[in-house]
């Protein structure tokens, strides 16, 4: 796969994402936010970090970067887009995903290992990962509290757009295992056409044997499987 | 010149953890009559224009396009002449 990772001013997980995809044998490259050429990717990654210092609202200013116009056009054509953490926030600010990431309910910046459960595998990002699989993928954010209206929540549920939810090691989902106050323990959602995924956990930080968990690698492997089949 | 004084607030149905923390702190300080706090943003924009009607429309558009997130926030603003707003 050809993977283009966008670097915004303030991105700090761009190199991690690029290296994780390279580790899985993909041709990954960094694209500066002022460029207007995505370089013909199979997948665009909006990485974690603090684009534009998180000024005004997280992700609000990044959507005016020149490359985002190209990302929007790529999305419209059905291109695969993965937004991780700040990338998820940018996707909601762009209107490519519904809802908003609010300040964590406990106000703290949370940086910890986190169990999430695969709720839906009808996406390129979770292709062939059995639903109900529990993965240990770290989170690191202060604004990860997913919020949406009741109407949008119903749409997400009806259209099976909730892809990951926070849980415990056994896959139980309740308020106790919700680290940030997200509605319905939501950790990741996709759009209706299922080509765009936003998630707060960082799969690129759990994708190589050098770190405690390799569960993020399941997402990289799923993408590869999906790509090879299509 | 005109100055737009803009307030951007979380909608009432959106939990405000910052406001909650402020409220708890005030109660710990003894201000037990305070039962709720909501934290908002205040933004000033200065326009090189004296046309109130067009500046009002432009400010409203700016709020919708960038300053407020319609999912979670609402906004309101006033317009003042620069001299008045500094007095």
CB contact under 8 A, B71 and A56: no
State how far the Cα of A58 lies from the Cα of A92, in Å rounded to an integer: 10
Alpha helices in chain A (DSSP H): 14-23, 66-76, 86-94, 150-158, 217-229
The total of other beta-carbon atoms located within 10 Å of residue A225's CB is 14
Residues on chain A touching B69 (C-beta within 8 angstroms): 57, 60, 93, 100
Residues of A with CB under 8 A from a CB of B: 56-57, 60, 92-93, 98-100, 102-107, 145, 147-149, 181
Higher pLDDT, A84 or B87: A84
Told to judge if A26 belongs to the known catalytic residues of this protein, a careful annotator would answer no
The pLDDT, as a whole number, for residue A112 is 96
Q: Which domain holds residue A58?
A: 2-229
The pLDDT, as a whole number, for residue B82 is 84
The verdict on ipTM greater than 0.90 is no
State how far the Cα of A216 lies from the Cα of A45, in Å rounded to an integer: 14
The pLDDT, as a whole number, for residue A176 is 93
Nearest neighbour of A147 by CB, restricted to B14, B21, B67: B14
Mean pLDDT computed over every residue of chain B: 94
Sketch the domain layout of chain B as residue ranges. Answer: 2-14+40-86
Does residue B69 sit at the A interface (CB-CB below 8 Å)?
yes
How many structural domains are present in chain A? 1
Q: Say if strands A115-118 and A134-136 run parallel, antiparallel, or are unpaired.
A: antiparallel
The pLDDT, as a whole number, for residue B83 is 78
The pLDDT, as a whole number, for residue A230 is 80
- pLDDT for A180-213, tens place per residue? 999 999 999 999 999 999 999 999 999 988 899 9
Q: Which residues contact A116 (CB under 8 A, 6 or more apart)?
A: A134, A135, A137, A164, A165, A166, A167, A187, A188, A201
State how far the Cα of A223 lies from the Cα of A228, in Å rounded to an integer: 9
Active-site entry in A85, A94, A148, A190:
A85
Over residues A41-68, mean pLDDT? 94
The CATH number for B2-14+40-86, chosen from 3.30.530.20, 3.40.109.10, 3.30.1280.10, 3.30.110.40, is 3.30.1280.10
State how far the Cα of A156 lies from the Cα of A187, in Å rounded to an integer: 13
- Produce one character per residue of B18-56: b if its CB has 16 or more CB atoms within 10 Å, e if not: ebbebbeeeeeeeeeeeeebeeeeebebebeeeeeeebe
User: A190, A163 in Cβ contact below 8 A?
Assistant: yes
Split chain B (87 residues) into runs of 10 and give each run's mean pLDDT. 96 91 95 96 96 97 96 96 74
| Mean pLDDT lowest among A76-80, A115-119, A131-135, B12-16 | B12-16
Q: Which of B71, B73, B74, B75 to mutate to test the interface with A (most CBs of A within 10 A)?
A: B71
Over residues A114-139, mean pLDDT? 97
The pLDDT, as a whole number, for residue B25 is 94
CATH number at residue A70: 3.40.50.880
pTM above 0.95, yes or no: no
The pLDDT, as a whole number, for residue B87 is 61
Over residues A37-53, mean pLDDT? 96
Sheet with B2-10: strands ordered across: B41-47, B2-10, B73-81
Which residues is A11 bridged to in the sheet? A49
The total of other beta-carbon atoms located within 10 Å of residue A171's CB is 15
The pLDDT, as a whole number, for residue B85 is 67
- pLDDT for A2-31, tens place per residue? 999 999 999 999 999 999 999 998 999 999
Over residues A219-229, mean pLDDT? 91
Q: Which two tokens stand for residue A62?
A: 């990044």
The pLDDT, as a whole number, for residue B86 is 67
Of A192, A170, A166, nearest to A179 by C-alpha is A166
């Amino acid at each position: 796969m050809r993977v283009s990772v966008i670097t915004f001013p303030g991105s700090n997980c761009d190199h991690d994402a690029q290296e994780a995809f390279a580790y899985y044998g993909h041709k990954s490259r960094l694209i500066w936010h002022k460029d207007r050429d995505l370089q013909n990717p199979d997948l665009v990654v909006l990485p974690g970090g603090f684009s534009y210092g998180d000024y005004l609202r997280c992700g609000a200013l990044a959507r005016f970067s020149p490359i985002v116009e190209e990302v929007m056009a790529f999305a419209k054509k059905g291109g695969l887009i993965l937004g991780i953490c700040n990338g998820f926030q940018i996707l909601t600010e762009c209107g490519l995903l519904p809802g908003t990431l609010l300040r964590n309910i406990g106000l703290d910046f949370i940086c910890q290992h986190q169990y999430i459960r695969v709720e839906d595998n009808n996406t390129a990002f979770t292709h062939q990962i059995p639903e109900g699989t529990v993965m240990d993928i770290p989170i690191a954010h202060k604004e990860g509290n997913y919020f949406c209206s009741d109407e949008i929540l119903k749409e997400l549920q009806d259209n099976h757009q909730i892809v990951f939810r926070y849980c415990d090691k056994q896959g139980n989902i309740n308020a106790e295992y919700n680290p940030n106050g997200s509605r319905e323990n939501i950790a990741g959602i996709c759009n209706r056409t299922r080509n765009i995924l936003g998630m707060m956990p960082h799969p690129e930080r759990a994708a190589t044997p050098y770190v405690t968990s390799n569960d993020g690698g399941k997402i990289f492997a799923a993408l590869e499987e999906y790509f090879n089949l299509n | 010149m005109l100055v737009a004084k803009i307030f951007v607030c979380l909608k009432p149905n959106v939990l405000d953890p910052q406001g909650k923390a402020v409220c708890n702190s005030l109660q710990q300080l003894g201000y037990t009559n305070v039962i709720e706090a909501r934290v908002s943003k205040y933004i000033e924009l200065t326009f090189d224009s004296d046309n109130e009607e067009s500046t009002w429309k432009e400010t409203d558009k700016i709020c919708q396009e960038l300053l407020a997130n319609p999912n979670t926030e609402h906004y309101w603003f006033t317009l003042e002449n620069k001299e008045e707003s500094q007095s």
